Structure 1
Amino acid sequence: MNMQASKTLFRRQLLGGLKWRRTAREPYRCFSCSIRHEQEPSPSKFPQDTAGTTHFGYETVDEALKEHKVGAVFSSVASSYDTMNDLMSLGIHRLWKDYFVRNLNPGANPLTSSSDPEKGWNILDIAGGTGDIAFRMLDHASTINNDAHTKVTVADINPDMLAEGKKRALATPYARSPRLKFVEANAEKLDMIPDNSVDLYTVAFGVRNFTHKDVAIREAFRVLKPGGVFACMEFSKVNNPLFDAFYKRWSFGAIPLIGQLVAGDRDSYQYLVESIDRFPSQTEFRDMIQEAGFLVPGQGWEDLTGGIAAIHKGVKPIR
C-alpha cells in the first residue's frame, strides 16, 4: 500500500468511528493478546453481573480476574498516562484537575473539628499513582494557603503507576519530603489507614476501575474523620444528546485507534472507553455515596464540560 493510500485509509478509520467490543469469553492469557472486532453494544445489551462476576469494560469476568486485568491495562499505560487522559477528555483533564483542587482548597481553615492547623490536612489520594492530584494539592496548600504542613498519601494498587509517580516527584519540591508518601494499596481494603484519621479522601479517574465500588466508598467512609470529605472526579454521562453522540463516536472510533498509533496499545484504550460507558450515571453514583453513609451537598455532583466528567462529594456526618 503506497503512502497516499495509507493516509486515506487512516482518515476513513478516524472519521468513520470504528466501533469495537470484546465478545468471545476466552480463557485469560494477557490483555493485549487478542483483539476482537465487532459493533459497540448498546447499554441495554450489557450482561448483568452475577454472584462472583463483575464487568471489565463490556466483558463479564470473574471478580478475581478483574483486578489482574485492570492491572495489566495500567501497567501498559503508566508511562503514557497524560496522553491517555488527553485522549479520553479531549485534552481538558488538566483544567478539570486544577479546578478540582481549587474547589477543595487544601490547607485552608481546618476541615474537621479535629484538624490541627499546626499539622495541616491529612489527605489520602486513591488511585493517584502518578501523583497528578497529589502534586497539585501540595502546591495549592503551600502557595495559596501558606500551609507547609498538609501532607498527601498517594495510594495505588498498581506498582508501575506508583513508580511513575515517584519518578515524577523528583521534579517537585516534595520528592524527599515527609509531606508526600506513596503506598501500594487496594482501595477496597485500606488496612494501613486507621479509622477516623483522614481529612480529605480524593479519587480522580480511578473509581470506575474498582471491582466493588460500594466497598471502596464504605472504606472511604471508615477512614475519614467526622466532617471529612469524600471527593471523586470521574468520567460520567454527557447530558446533551447531540454532544453525547459526537463524544461516543470520538470515544469508540478515534481513541482506540490513536492509542494504537501513539502508545502502540489499542486494547488498553478500548477497555478505558468501555469502562467509561459502563460507569453509573451521576444520579446512580450519588446514591451509592449516600448509601455508604455520606451526606451529599446540593444535588450531589457538579458536571464538567457537559457531563463528560463530574465531581461528586460526600461529607461524613459529625455524630
Structure 2
Amino acid sequence: MSDTVSFGYEDVTPTEKTARVRGVFSNVASRYDLMNDAMSGGMHRLWKDRFVRRVKPRGHEQILDMAGGTGDIAFRLAESGAAVTVADINPEMLEVGIGRAQQRGIDGLVWTEANAETLTFPDRFFDAYTIAFGIRNVTDIPKALHEAHRVLRRGGRFFCLEFSTNVWPGFADVYDAYSHHLVPKLGKLLANDEDSYRYLIESIRRFPDMPTFERMIADAGFVQTKVEPIMGGLVAIHSGWKI
C-alpha cells in the first residue's frame, strides 16, 4: 500500500483517511437515506432491488453484508430467509440500522462493528458477501477484497454495487455538473453538511473505472468476474466467485 491514499481529491495518509471517512459517516448517519436520494435522484432504491436480485439469496445461506450499517441491503436479503450479518466500521450507522429494523419488525439480523480490511470472521464462513456503496470508502481496497475472498466458502459469491465512471456521451458531463455543484448544496440545505457530501462525490471520481476494478477483484482470487453497468456505468454491479 502506498504512503498516501485518496480522500476525495486530497491525498492523505491511510490512517487519516480511515479517521476522516469514519467522521463523514458519523455526520451523515441520521440522514443517510436522504443523502442517497440526493445523490441518485431516488434511483438508489431501484438499484438496490436489482442488486439483491442478482445475489439470489436463499433461506439456508449465511450472508455478510459489509458496510451495510443502515440495513438497506440486509432488509432485502433477509426476505429470502437467509441468515444475514450486517457489518459496518461506523457504530452510528449501525445504530440507525438497528433502529430501522426495530421499526419494521425485522428480527434475526446480526449487527457487528467491523473493518472490511481486518475481518474477525473465520475462513470459509459465508456463502455470499455483499457491499453496496461502501467499497470506495475503504482505505485499502485490495486488502478488503482479499478479506472478502477469505471469509467466503468455496462456491461463494461476491457482489458489489458501487458508483462508477459513466461512459454515455453527454450524460456523463450532465451528471458531473449536477453532482459537483448541486449535491453539496443539497447536503448543506438538507443536512447542514456540505463538506461530507462533497467528499462523497469526489470519492466517486477517484474510484477505479469498471475494467480496473474488475481486475482488482480477479487479483483477490475471484473467478468468473463480471461487470453489469447501470445507466451507462453511473453505477455498476461487480461480481465474482470463489472456487
Match of 2:115 among 160, 175, 186: 186
- Rg larger for: 1
- Aligned-pair distance for 1:105? 1.6
State which of 93, 96, 106 in structure 1 corresponds to 2:44: 93
DSSP 3-state at the match of 1:241 = coil
Q: Per residue, is there more helix in 1 or in 2?
A: 2
After TM superposition, list the pairs within 5 Å mapping 1:88-127 onto structure 2: 88-107=39-58, 120-127=60-67
Quote the Cα distance in structure 1 between the aligned partners of 2:204 and 2:124. 31
Query: For residues 68 and 313 of structure 1, what CA distance do their matches in structure 2 show?
Result: 28
1:207 aligned residue: 135
- AA at the equivalent of 1:161: M
In structure 2, the residue matched to 1:163 is 95
User: Who is 2:10 aligned against?
Assistant: 59
* Percentage identity across paired residues of the two chains: 51
Q: Which has the higher strand share?
A: 2
Partner Cα distance (2:208, 2:2) in 1 = 19
Across the aligned residues of Structure 1 and Structure 2, the Cα RMSD in angstroms comes to: 1.1
Match in the other structure for 2:156: 228
Equivalent in the alignment of 1:69? 20
Q: Which residue of 2 is the match for residue 78 of structure 1? A: 29
Distance in 2 (CA, whole Å) between partners of 1:294 and 1:212 is 17
Equivalence for 1:20: none
1:290-310 CA distances to partner (integer Å, 9 max, x unpaired)? Answer: 00110024xx20011221100
CA distance in 1, matches of 2:217, 2:224: 8
Residue 180 of structure 2 aligns with an amino acid whose one-letter code is F
Unaligned 5+ segments in structure 2 are: none
CA distance in 2 between counterparts of 1:274 and 1:186 reads 22
Gaps of 5+ in 1: 1-49, 109-119, 142-147
Structure 1 stretches of 4+ moved >3 Å:
none
Give yes or no for contact 1:123–1:199 (8 Å, CA) kept in 2: yes
- Tell me the distance in 2 between the aligned counterparts of 1:296 and 1:281: 18
Aligned partner of 2:210 in structure 1 is 282
Partners in 2 of 1:242 and 1:265 — Cα distance?
29
Task: Tell whether the 8 Å contact from 1:89 to 1:308 is kept in structure 2 after alignment.
Answer: no
1:172 Cα deviation after fit: 2.7
The TM-score with structure 2 as length reference comes to 0.97
Q: Does 1:292 align with 2:220?
A: yes
In the comparison of the two structures, how many residue pairs are matched? 243
SS of match in other structure, 1:296 = strand
Q: Give CA deviations for 1:82-110 in whole Å, capped at 9, x if unaligned.
A: 111111112200000011111222116xx
CA shift for structure 1 position 241: 2.4
Cα drift, residue 51 of structure 1: 3.2
Is this contact kept in 2: 1:126–1:154, CA < 8 A?
yes
**How far does residue 173 in structure 1 lie from its aligned partner after superposition?**
3.4
